Amino acid sequence: MAVDQQVVIVTGAGGGMGQAILKHLLEQGKIVVGLDLSVASLADRESDVLQLHDVNVLHEDKVNEVFQNIYDKYGRIDGLVNAIGIAQAATPIEDVSINEWNRLMDVNVKSLFITTKAAVPYMKARKKGAIVTIASISAVRPRPGLQAYIASKGAAESFSRGLAIELAPHQIRVNTIHPGPADTQMLSQFAAPNADVEQTKQEVFVQSVPLGRLVAPADIAGAVCYLLSDAASMVTGTTLHVDGGRGL
């Protein structure tokens, strides 16, 4: 028997955006399951409606096991939010190692394949579901030195669009969000190795946003809640720019 509340899984739950997404979803009365490499910093928030798991989402067997347990316990998986990700320090291509390229592709792209593949059978079983992936405005409005990160975010968007057409007959909607530069710890990791991080934040990132400020995690959480909701019931295969106009 399925519980009455909707059940939403969030990866990258311990991150800047992930934590805001958990908060907004809980305020909307959902049951939320958060996955991250370490959820220790969130442990005191665990409750009847918030389950937390230390999971490396690149470990397919572990992800499958956690998703199966969630479905067994609640009888439903309504939403999946992929908010996991890693940054690339701005680096000329000739200095980027193949290991760094592979690491970005694994965490930012392969992880999406693993979590989505794990969630879809449960959504198909109930003929309803919504998947939201956090990509990046840099996929369409690039900055120099971020070529691997940008490629990974372009792949994330294409993957979502491919799934949107594949899963539409099952009433599963798949959408992407492109955040602009956002006020989380990740932002400083995009600076070049010897750059002054605070200066880069103010002079490069804030300056690049027409609306004049960094994106707040709550801005992303609001967009996630919309895309998961019935208000977006005819929205699939789209990319919502939450970037203060950075993409213009």
Ligand X SMILES: NC(=O)c1ccc[n+]([C@@H]2O[C@H](COP(=O)([O-])OP(=O)(O)OC[C@H]3O[C@@H](n4cnc5c(N)ncnc54)[C@H](O)[C@@H]3O)[C@@H](O)[C@H]2O)c1
Task: Tell me: does residue 12 bind ligand X (CB under 6 A).
Answer: yes
Q: At what angle do helices 147-167 and 111-126 cross, to 10 degrees?
A: 20
CA torsion sign, 99 to 102 to 104 to 107?
A: negative
DSSP 80: E
Rounded to an integer, what distance in angstroms lies between the CA atom of residue 186 and that of residue 88?
9
Q: Could you say which residues in the range 24-83 bind ligand X, by CB under 6 A?
A: 36-37, 56-58, 83
Cα-to-chain-centroid distance, residue 1: 29
Near ligand X by CB under 6 A: residue from 34, 129, 145, 179:
179
Near ligand X by CB under 6 A: residue from 90, 107, 131, 191:
107
Cα distances (angstroms) measured from residue 62 to each of 55, 134, 151 = 7, 22, 27
Task: Tell me: does residue 131 bind ligand X (CB under 6 A).
Answer: no
CB of 234 to ligand X, least distance (A): 25
Near ligand X by CB under 6 A: residue from 17, 112, 114, 150:
17
Near ligand X by CB under 6 A: residue from 96, 105, 125, 186:
186
Tokens of 20: 């805001």
Q: How many residues sit close enough to ligand X to count as binding (CB under 6 A)?
A: 26
Tokens of 219: 């801005």
Task: Please list the residues that pair with 79 across neighbouring strands.
Answer: 8, 130
Residue among 94, 56, 72 at smallest CA distance from 2: 72
Amino acid at 115: T
Which one, 85 or 145, has the nearer CB to ligand X? 85
Containing H/E element for 7?
Answer: strand 7-11
Near ligand X by CB under 6 A: residue from 79, 129, 181, 244:
181
Q: Which residue has the tokens 């792209």?
A: 109
Of 22-30, 43-51, 118-126, 175-183, which segment contacts ligand X by CB under 6 A? 175-183
Near ligand X by CB under 6 A: residue from 136, 147, 176, 239:
136
Task: Tell me: does residue 84 bind ligand X (CB under 6 A).
Answer: yes
Rounded to 5°, the CA angle 87-61-46 comes to 70
Near ligand X by CB under 6 A: residue from 134, 163, 228, 242:
134
Which one, 129 or 179, has the nearer CB to ligand X? 179
Catalytically annotated residue among 71, 74, 122, 149 = 149
Residue whose CB is nearest to ligand X in the complex, by number: 15
Which one, 136 or 160, has the nearer CB to ligand X? 136
The verdict on whether 226 is a catalytic residue reads: no
Q: Which residue has the tokens 């990132």?
A: 205
Active-site residue list: 149
Q: Which residues here bind ligand X, judged by CB under 6 A?
A: 11-12, 14-18, 36-37, 56-58, 83-86, 107, 134, 136, 179, 181-182, 184-187
